[in-house]
Chain A
């Protein structure tokens, strides 16, 4: 039956642990990429809803450019293109690319969440004597954050999978490791299956955490 099923998946449990350090790299660039994305995202979202025209335009251009080009292309430009000015190491290139890319998407998530809060909330806060900034911080943003959680969780899972693109710029993460091990041992499919299981483990844990956070926020809604 070899012709029909040429793979030997019995090696999967034996080789599984060899991918732990690669999974560490995946987790590392994803985590830092998301954190950078959150910071960028909030700054860009606030710029986008700001009353200043120039900030507004800047934020729009940022989102237009970053959301309008593939992440893989951005990764290549940072990794290969910037070397004339500064040689960004592979790991840092991956984090920067994931950060600016997710920043654009998270900015839109934050903007949508902020604008979904009834304007009456802001007016009420202002009429109580709060400044616009204070009303934003104390009244609008805490409510907006809750609404941003589900789409944010979704974005985090996308970012975790997108981190596999770093395999193209020599970051020894899961996919690159799987391909190199596969090419070297002539067990390509077997290694890819191991990689798939690692990804599922990580996205599974992430989904669970997001679910818990959502549930907790729901409870605090009632209180």
Chain B
């Protein structure tokens, strides 16, 4: 055995095994459309045991793809790099519960809102905190990196602590390392019902503001207008309400 044998074998194996590497470069092909989400944001987009992604966002994405006559590719990627991935052309749009904000509008375009929610403060039941006004700079509030909730934390003068996703933020709250969690109201409610120890938590006050969720596209992409038209049809023919009903029985989150 010597170096050259090893290197020759390395080169051969590398060449043979490298074919799949070309796959998955960018989503843009004629008969597929790709939307991205974090894949860890139940019940909007989350992973099933099979590895497939399901949720409210995915159902909306499927319907949009169907009406465009294209096949849907739902891509999952980490939330804090998701806009960079869109700008780099790794997928056609972000359909993953992204709030429409001025800061984001400077970089990407958004469709009209496809559902409405808002940031909510979650605390431990035994904390005695009844609204975000009860907190100040000495209180740590956990939130997910790259979300709009950082602005809320700043506005209300609490100290934000950043985590990868809301599973971690809520675990920190249950474990008592932070005083509160700022997250989307619907996501928070869902997590409190399903998580172990979630029964120790409660919502403090009402939503801090209304947040409008849109589908993000690259600036000046023709897709924005096309998807706006489809969303309008889906609202008009009751499809949006039906999808909302499937995930949130008796509740229509698609109207303001």
Contact = CB atoms under 8 A, between A and B. Distances in A.
Contacts of A184: 39-40, 42, 46-48
B90 A87 contact: yes
A15 B50 CA distance: 10
Contacts of B196: 2, 6-8, 186
B17 A32 contact: yes
Contacts of B40: 179-180, 182-184
A170 B85 contact: yes
Given A2-B197, A170-B75, A180-B47, A32 B24 contact: no
Contact of B3 (A28, A42, A172): A42
Nearest to B166: A183
B81 A168 contact: yes
Interface stretch (A88-96, A123-131, A154-162, A199-207): A88-96
A97 interface: no
Interface stretch (B4-12, B97-105, B212-220): B4-12
Interface residues of A, number: 46
B255 interface: no
Interface string B143-154: 000000000000
Interface in A119-168: 137, 141-142, 144-145, 167-168
B191 A145 contact: no
Interface in B63-79: 75-78
Interface in A9-31: 15, 18, 21, 28, 31
B86 to A, nearest CB: 11
B127 to A, nearest CB: 15
B42 A183 contact: yes
Interface residues of B, number: 52
A180 B78 contact: no
Interface in B169-224: 171, 174, 191, 194-198
B41 A183 contact: yes
B49 interface: yes
A145 B3 CA distance: 6
A198 B198 CA distance: 29
Contact of A183 (B1, B13, B84, B167): B167
Interface in A67-116: 76, 80, 83, 87-92, 95, 110
Interface of B: 1-4, 6-7, 10-11, 13-14, 17-18, 20-26, 38-42, 46-49, 51, 75-78, 81, 84-85, 88-90, 164-168, 171, 174, 191, 194-198
24 contacts: A2-B196, A8-B196, A18-B51, A21-B51, A35-B10, A42-B3, A42-B7, A76-B81, A87-B26, A87-B89, A89-B22, A90-B24, A137-B2, A142-B2, A144-B3, A179-B165, A180-B46, A181-B47, A181-B49, A183-B41, A183-B47, A184-B39, A186-B42, A186-B198
